[in-house]
Each structure stands twice: as C-alpha cells, then as structure tokens.
Structure 1
Amino acid sequence: MRTFLLAVAVAVVWVPVVGQAASLRCGTGLVSDGASKSDVAAKCGEPVSRESRTESEEVKTKDGDTSTKRVVQKTFEEWTYNFGPNRLMQVVVFENGKLIEVKSAGYGR
C-alpha cells in the first residue's frame, strides 16, 4: 500500500501544470481567449454591466547600447453576465478589445 501511495505522489508531482484558458458558454455559443468584444456580444448578448479602466505601463527596450522608454496604454473592460438565480454570474475581462479572462461572481438574480 505504501508503494502505491508513493507512486501516486510521484505521479502527481510530475504532472505538468496546465494554465486555464478563458472561455464562456452562452447558450449554444462558446467564446474563448482572444475573442473580440463584438464576437462575445454576438454570442452572449448584452451584459448587465460594463466597467472600463485604462492603465499606463512603461516599457523599456534596449538596442545595443541604446535603451529607450515608452509609455503603453492598456484599456481593460469588464462585462458582467447574469444568467439567472441558478447560475453564477460571469465577468468577462478584455484587454485592448480581446478576451483575456473569465471570472465567476456570485449567483445571479
């Protein structure tokens, strides 16, 4: 029995970690990583709420002995979908218009 448990523990350690892909099922439609806002709206309809924010990030690049800095603007939008009281609400996150994350929120109404 100990050998079996040791083998299971070793197997779990050696299993590669797989990242979660952002995806959302809306009826018969499915949207996933990289989908545009228009694609999500077409398949899932209009969200119950939209929030938007802009973040600035300083990016440094080096070319030989010369380094340059520039500021990059990123626009994030979060759309919330409420699929009713028996399902969790879903928050869809876009970066510069492309789907990057889907998060679950509390139960809908």
Structure 2
Amino acid sequence: MKRLSWLVFSLFFLFSEPLFALRCGHSLVQLGDYKADVSDKCGDPDSEESHYERRGNANHADATQYGFNGQQRFPSSSFGYGQSHYQEIEVLVEEWTYDFGSARLRKVLHFENGRLIHIESLGRGRYRR
C-alpha cells in the first residue's frame, strides 16, 4: 500500500503542468506564454541571445488512380502521380537567461517567434547581495 501511494504521488508530480513552469515572485510563467507576459512577470533577463533558424516543410499531394466513389478511374493502369512542395521558413529563436541568485537555479527560456517553447535549468546562480 505504501508503494502504491508513493507511485501515485510521483506520477502526480511528474505529469503536473506547473512542474514545467517558472515561478517569478507570485506569478507563474508557463510554456506558450508571450515574451511581453514573461517580461512583465519576471522583469528583464540577465542576458539575451537571438538568431534565425531556417526550417523546412515538405507537403506531398497525391492523385491516385481511384475516384471519390472508390471506383478505379484507370483500370488498365497501376500508376499514381502527385506533386511535392518544399518550403523553408525563418524562425526567430531567442534565449533569455535569468539568474535568481545562489538560492535558486539559473533558467534559460527558449522562445520561437515570440512564444515560450522550453524552460531549461542550469546550475546554481551567483551570490547576490
């Protein structure tokens, strides 16, 4: 029974959303927040880095030998034909670093196109007076 309750307790905290969030004062910063909201809740970051990444996306439209009703349009043919489309887009990636002092871990917040996508924990922060 003790093992079961420990397992349920562990799973609860493993899959709870606030575990993947950052607390700034009395506010909670979560994935999907905008940069302006994070800045309002946590203040300006200690360091900021940004760069662009090119990402590709491939779409393939296929015209098969069957019609909408399931009937074979080209009974003597066994070929399919289609069209591929590849598109590259630029994504603005920003990394904000917060150092909350020696009592807490440093955090790196990763933004893509202005939205928070990942929160990374680093080592202990520096001693602050």
Give the alignment's TM-score, normalised by structure 2: 0.67
Q: CA deviation at 1:63?
A: 1.9
* Aligned with 2:25 (options 18, 24, 27): 27
What residue in structure 2 maps to residue 83 of structure 1? 100
Larger proportion of strand: 1
Gaps of 5+ in 1: none
Give the partner amino acid of 1:100.
I
What residue in structure 1 maps to residue 110 of structure 2? 93
Provide the C-alpha distance between the structure 2 equivalents of 1:46 and 1:62, rounded to a whole number of angstroms.
44
Go from structure 1 to structure 2 and tell me whether the alpha carbon gap of 1:19 and 1:28 turns closer, same or farther (over 3 Å shift): closer
Q: CA deviation at 1:79?
A: 0.3
User: Secondary structure at 1:39's aligned position in 2?
Assistant: helix
User: Secondary structure at 1:50's aligned position in 2?
Assistant: strand
Give the partner amino acid of 1:91.
V
What residue in structure 2 maps to residue 59 of structure 1? 57
Question: RMSD across aligned C-alpha pairs, in angstroms?
Answer: 2.5
* Aligned with 1:43 (options 41, 57, 65): 41
Q: Over alpha carbons, which structure has the higher Rg? A: 2
Would you say the 8 A contact 1:88–1:108 is kept in 2?
Answer: yes
Give the length in aligned residue pairs: 99
Q: CA deviation at 1:18?
A: 4.7
